[in-house]
Amino acid sequence: MTNTAANTLDFSGTVPKNYDEYLGPIFFEPYAIDIAGRIDPLSVKLALELGCGTGRVTRHLRKVMEEGSSLIASDINPDMLAFAKEKLETLNIDWKIIDAHELPFSNNSVDLIVCCFGYMFVTDKSKAFAEAYRILRPGGTLLIATWDRLEVNEASYVFRKTVKKYFGDSLPEAYRLPFSMNDPAIIKDSLQRAGFSKVESEVVVKESFCTTAKKAAEGLTRGGSLYNEIMNRNPAWLEEIHATVEKELSEKYGSAPMIAPMKAIVSQAWK
């Protein structure tokens, strides 16, 4: 998470652990590897990660960066940041709570900013992109990933369709944010307006892989921000939703393993 708007999504309690254990491998690990592979480590002395979550991208960033370089991993959510810090405590990483709207760095001081699946939650994207541009050194890079439309992220779509049967349209608007930043042209235009001289955006297709549909359904129901929302409304719904999601995933994408298509927009912008 990257800003105060994300606080309307509840990632507290058991969610960070389940999020990392279940959803991490299925949805985030493939893109974490992809993002880290796009970095030129020789050009990076100081890198900032925004919205580090449970640290999946962070681990890969630290692995590819030069030993003497500095990596600051940040999030706005204390529970997620605490989980990541504990999980990666042996690595040379500086952990901070940072809001993407107000980056506590001087002008032209950072070589690389990475944000995977975080900018969707930022309230004022123009301000956040302007802040990223401000702190990047000339020639520095902003590297971001955002989800494509919900419908083309098929395991997530199965889950959301099931949840909608119970919640109808009563979910807060914040729960629509994860898939709200799905147009490469709009992303490119926003980054150019912030001042970036060169911007490239592409749709990157991966597979959501899980050893079983049952485990994937478990992750979707217990590992996301909707878990606490479900438990607050009616705990009895949890097992019903889990069973329905498992059945549909098994029928569409296999029971063991479960493999479903997913798509994200990966954008790079240079100052």
Task: Write down the domain spans for the chain.
Answer: 4-150+177-207+262-270
CATH topology of domain 4-150+177-207+262-270: Rossmann fold (3.40.50)
- Looking up tokens 């070589």 gives 111
Structure tokens at 10: 């509840």
Please indicate, yes or no, whether the overall pTM of this predicted structure exceeds 0.85. yes
**Lowest-confidence pick of 6-15, 81-90, 191-200, 227-236:** 6-15
pLDDT at residue 1 is higher than 70: no
Taken in order 101, 103, 108, 113, the sign of the CA dihedral is negative
Whole-number pLDDT of residue 31: 98
174 confidence band (pLDDT: 50, 70, 90): confident
- Residue 116 CA to residue 12 CA, distance in Å, equals 20
pLDDT in tens, 27-42: 999 999 999 999 999 9
Q: Provide the percentage of residues in the chain whose pLDDT is more than 70.
A: 96
Pull the structure tokens for residue 101: 């709207």
Q: With 80 as the cut, is the pLDDT of residue 3 above it?
A: no
Tell me the C-alpha distance between 14 and 240, whole Å. 20
Q: Rg of the chain over CA atoms, in angstroms?
A: 18
pLDDT value of residue 8: 52
E strand spans, 98-250: 110-116, 136-147, 198-210
* Range 160-177 average pLDDT: 90
Q: What's the rounded mean pLDDT across residues 166-184?
A: 91
Q: What span, in angstroms and rounded, lies between the C-alpha atoms of 265 and 149?
A: 10
Average pLDDT over residues 191-210: 97
Q: What is the mean pLDDT of the chain?
A: 94
What pLDDT score does 223 carry?
84
> What is the C-alpha separation between 81 and 13, in angstroms, rounded?
13
